[in-house]
Structure 1
Amino acid sequence: MDDTQSLTPADADALLALADGHHARTVRPLGSPEVAGHVVKSYAIEAPGRTVTDQDSQAALRIAADHLSSAHLRGSVGLSVLLMHAGGDGDYVLVHTWIEGYMSDLAVFTGPAGDISRLRPGRSGLAPCVWEAAVLAYERDAFSRHVLDGDGAFEERLSAWRGDLLEGEVR
């Protein structure tokens, strides 16, 4: 490697601007109801100054129900994680579903801040942001720990998974 070459082709200005604005966001569990044949662990993620209301969480559950109603066609095994993110630049609903073959299915819905009725499927290729990914990483570990590697009957594993909740700040 030539010592005069940059170590990375990354956009330093863009990355430093992201670093300057990076902050903690609050995560709150919202329960784990049964929706469209799935156990759904629900979370609120809140940017500073934003709150996920009961109305928002009910709307997110309706979006999840619509999406999950055909999840069996995508190989769903009946466990899902729902994120309602009151972001700094808009609102987001993510429906993450465990499917066959140790894989998962992800749907992202986006819309303007404070208008849950205008959420629509996100563009192709859209993936979780850093805060959403933190919650999904936690949930990946909880799924592996309790459901895949857990001991006991299925109901015990499911109960342990439902009770393993992330709460507080993520970065």
Structure 2
Amino acid sequence: MKQAADISAYQPRAAWFDGLVECGPATVKLSVIEADPAKPIATVPIERARALIETTGEKLAQTRHLGAGFAILHQGQEGLWLLLHWWLEGGIATQIIWRSDLDAEPKFLPADPLLTACVWELGIIDFERRAWMETAMSGKPIADYLTRTMPRGTV
């Protein structure tokens, strides 16, 4: 088992809302996390992430979705991660995770299904949880949830 000294120290990472993406019958809020400000995320990974989200609409449509969700594109230190979540009744969020290498053209492949999220991604997940509770779960329209976006800052 790793000792506390073996675990990487937490360093804040830049995060921001990048825009809405249509995913079949749902609209997804895409946020981005960038581990190293000296190596800003390029346009191509964001475009590939958007395309993958768009092509996942059929899978989303097979669930009892509520027409909205969120995604996180995380350019980490060891890989490029894409997490897609969408909301179901009962306050349940589903999840699909993909991973790509950093040193090549992005090619997202399904990640290990045991993975959930890292500490930085959990910052955005917490933001989205609160936004969902304060809008859709409080009787407000889904459109209100979609306008509640992650402010530029750090996670």
* TM band (smaller chain): 0.7 to 0.9
Deviation at 1:51, TM superposition (A): 2.4
In the aligned structure 2, how far is the partner of 1:35 from the partner of 1:120?
A: 18
Runs of 4+ in structure 1 off by over 6 angstroms are none
TM-score, normalised with respect to structure 2: 0.88
Tell me: CA distance 1:118–1:140, structure 2 relative to 1, closer, same or farther (3 Å). Answer: same
More helix by share: 1
Secondary structure of the 1:113 match is coil
In the aligned structure 2, how far is the partner of 1:124 from the partner of 1:161?
A: 27
Tell me: CA distance 1:83–1:114, structure 2 relative to 1, closer, same or farther (3 Å). Answer: farther
Residue pair 1:91, 1:112 contacting (<8 A) in 2 also: yes
* Residue in 1 that maps onto 2:24: 36
Corresponding letter in the other structure for 2:84: V
Rg larger in structure:
1
In the aligned structure 2, how far is the partner of 1:111 from the partner of 1:28?
A: 20
Superposed CA deviations along residues 1-50 of structure 1, whole A, max 9, x for unmatched, are: xxxxxxxxxx561x3332x5310000011012333221111111000133
Q: Which of 47, 55, 58 is residue 58 of structure 1 equivalent to?
A: 47
Secondary structure of the 1:57 match is helix
Equivalent positions of 1:73-152 (< 5 A) are 73-151=62-140
Q: Which blocks of at least 5 consecutive residues in structure 2 are unaligned? A: none
Greater relative contact order (Cα < 8 A, sep 6+): 2
Secondary structure of the 1:74 match is coil
Corresponding letter in the other structure for 1:62: A
Deviation at 1:150, TM superposition (A): 4.6
* Residue in 2 that maps onto 1:162: 146
Residue pair 1:50, 1:87 contacting (<8 A) in 2 also: no
Counting aligned pairs with the same residue, the percent is 20
Residue pair 1:50, 1:86 contacting (<8 A) in 2 also: no
Superposed CA deviations along residues 59-99 of structure 1, whole A, max 9, x for unmatched, are: 10111122232212122211110111110111000101111
Residue pair 1:82, 1:94 contacting (<8 A) in 2 also: yes
Secondary structure of the 1:22 match is coil
After superposition, the CA RMSD in angstroms is 1.8
In the aligned structure 2, how far is the partner of 1:116 from the partner of 1:37?
A: 29
Tell me: CA distance 1:12–1:35, structure 2 relative to 1, closer, same or farther (3 Å). Answer: closer
In the aligned structure 1, how far is the partner of 2:107 from the partner of 2:22?
A: 25
* Residue in 2 that maps onto 1:27: 15
Q: Which blocks of at least 5 consecutive residues in structure 1 are unaligned? A: 1-10
In the aligned structure 2, how far is the partner of 1:148 from the partner of 1:116?
A: 39
